[in-house]
Amino acid sequence: MTDTCPPDCAHCSPDVDHETAHQAVLDALSVIAAHPEADEDRIVELLQERGYSPIVAEKLNAFVPAALSWPMLKRLGVESFVGHFIAYDDNDEEVRIPVSSQHYFTAALTLAYWTVEQGFTDELPRSTYQMIAGRSAEMDAVDRILTQGGTVEGATVGPLQLLRISASDMLA
pLDDT at 19: 94
- Tens of pLDDT, residue by residue over 3-26, are 444 444 444 445 688 899 999 999
Burial state string for 134-171 with b = 16 or more CB within 10 A and e = fewer than 16: ebbbbbebbeeeeeeeeebeebebebbebeebbbebbe
User: Is residue 1 situated within a structural domain?
Assistant: no
Residue 102, pLDDT above cutoff 80: yes
User: Is residue 77 situated within a structural domain?
Assistant: yes
How does the average pLDDT of the chain come out, rounded? Answer: 91
The reported pTM is 0.89
Q: What mean pLDDT do residues 43-47 have?
A: 98
Handedness of CA 143, 112, 131, 65 (dihedral sign): negative
User: Is residue 8 situated within a structural domain?
Assistant: no
Residue 45, pLDDT above cutoff 50: yes
User: Is residue 145 situated within a structural domain?
Assistant: yes
User: Is residue 12 situated within a structural domain?
Assistant: no
- Tens of pLDDT, residue by residue over 148-164, are 999 999 999 999 999 99
Domain count, the chain: 1
pLDDT at 133: 97
Q: What mean pLDDT do residues 106-121 have?
A: 95
